[in-house]
Structure 1
């Protein structure tokens, strides 16, 4: 577990937890769709996340949208997944970068999480919590490159995380 203070938004933070061998993503997905997930949390397909930096860029963009009243999704945490995805299509974003019925490798993200909420998030996931350092080794580079349309020449001058962050930052500029 790691806590990141979001300096561009004083007093706001993002907690990240990484889980492997998760067995209950189908139930979690159903709870999210019904709006009964408590506490609210963003569940990422962790194989689509090569490192933490693009998640933090998406978190900044999410909090900015919230502060300006410009959120495009129903919840702060679904907005986080949407902003991470780099796509302008909400459903596609949630499907590609969020969890599916059979996702076993999950990155959980919660804004401004209290100790009590942190316990609740851990209890939601039926899997093994692992160190976030493992995230960089287990990303599905091929799927990430395909989703974000990242070319091999681009990776000669930047990392996968940097390429994703660039797309997150520029998605709304076109």
Structure 2
């Protein structure tokens, strides 16, 4: 597995987004300290991966934040903090970091970096993450995220308790339908926040 560069539809190719998903992270305390200290070398969106249901869930929040960045609509200090904020269905920025950002106990971590300047390249990010993150790099896909995501916590944060949880049914097709319904509800919450 490797750092993935994601092309976001409807956004300029000159602003690539790099994504890495780590499991069994051992130095979350250090990474969070670097972020809180404002260390420019650690200007990433550091997201607790247990709060992400699927790849599309993550891509939707990233798209919203990058689009807000391009249109000078940031509500937080930079595009990376805006990505974490984009996951939250409310307009409370501090709450976003508590619920969706890295904590000292985070074991599964999604790291996102937007190349806002030419010196930020795929290779420079990959090298920095290799030296800085003590964890196992895994595929950034819905299958891996489904093993990581804490559906009950996600439903609680998005206030979707009335929806059934995937895995509650024995029928695979029905389970896929339930997961898709939950995913669509999450995407809608991200799209509608602040509207």
- What TM-score, normalized to structure 1? 0.90
- Is 1:166 the counterpart of 2:168? The answer is no
For residues 28-69 of structure 1, give each alpha carbon's deviation from its aligned partner in whole angstroms, at most 9, with x where no partner exists: 111111111414211110000011112211122112221222
In the alignment, the residues of structure 1 paired with residue 22 and residue 61 of structure 2 have an alpha-carbon distance, to the nearest angstrom, of 20
Cα distance change, pair 18–150 in 1 and its aligned pair in 2 (3 A): same
The alignment of Structure 1 onto Structure 2 pairs a total of residues equal to 173
Cα distance change, pair 159–13 in 1 and its aligned pair in 2 (3 A): farther
Corresponding position of 1:79: 82
Segments of structure 2 that go 5 or more residues without pairing to the other structure are: 116-120, 166-177
> What is the DSSP-based 3-state SS (H/G/I as helix, E as strand, rest coil) of the residue aligned with 1:10?
coil
> What is the DSSP-based 3-state SS (H/G/I as helix, E as strand, rest coil) of the residue aligned with 2:193?
helix
In the alignment, the residues of structure 2 paired with residue 160 and residue 3 of structure 1 have an alpha-carbon distance, to the nearest angstrom, of 26
Note if contact 1:39-1:117 (Cα within 8 Å) is conserved in structure 2.
no
CA RMSD of aligned residues (A): 1.9
Segments of structure 1 that go 5 or more residues without pairing to the other structure are: none
For residues 77-127 of structure 1, give each alpha carbon's deviation from its aligned partner in whole angstroms, at most 9, with x where no partner exists: 110010122221101101100110111111111113421122212322111
In the alignment, the residues of structure 1 paired with residue 76 and residue 132 of structure 2 have an alpha-carbon distance, to the nearest angstrom, of 22
In the alignment, the residues of structure 1 paired with residue 163 and residue 27 of structure 2 have an alpha-carbon distance, to the nearest angstrom, of 39
Select the residue among 115, 120, 145 that pairs with 1:135: 145
Name which one, 1 or 2, has greater alpha-carbon Rg: 2
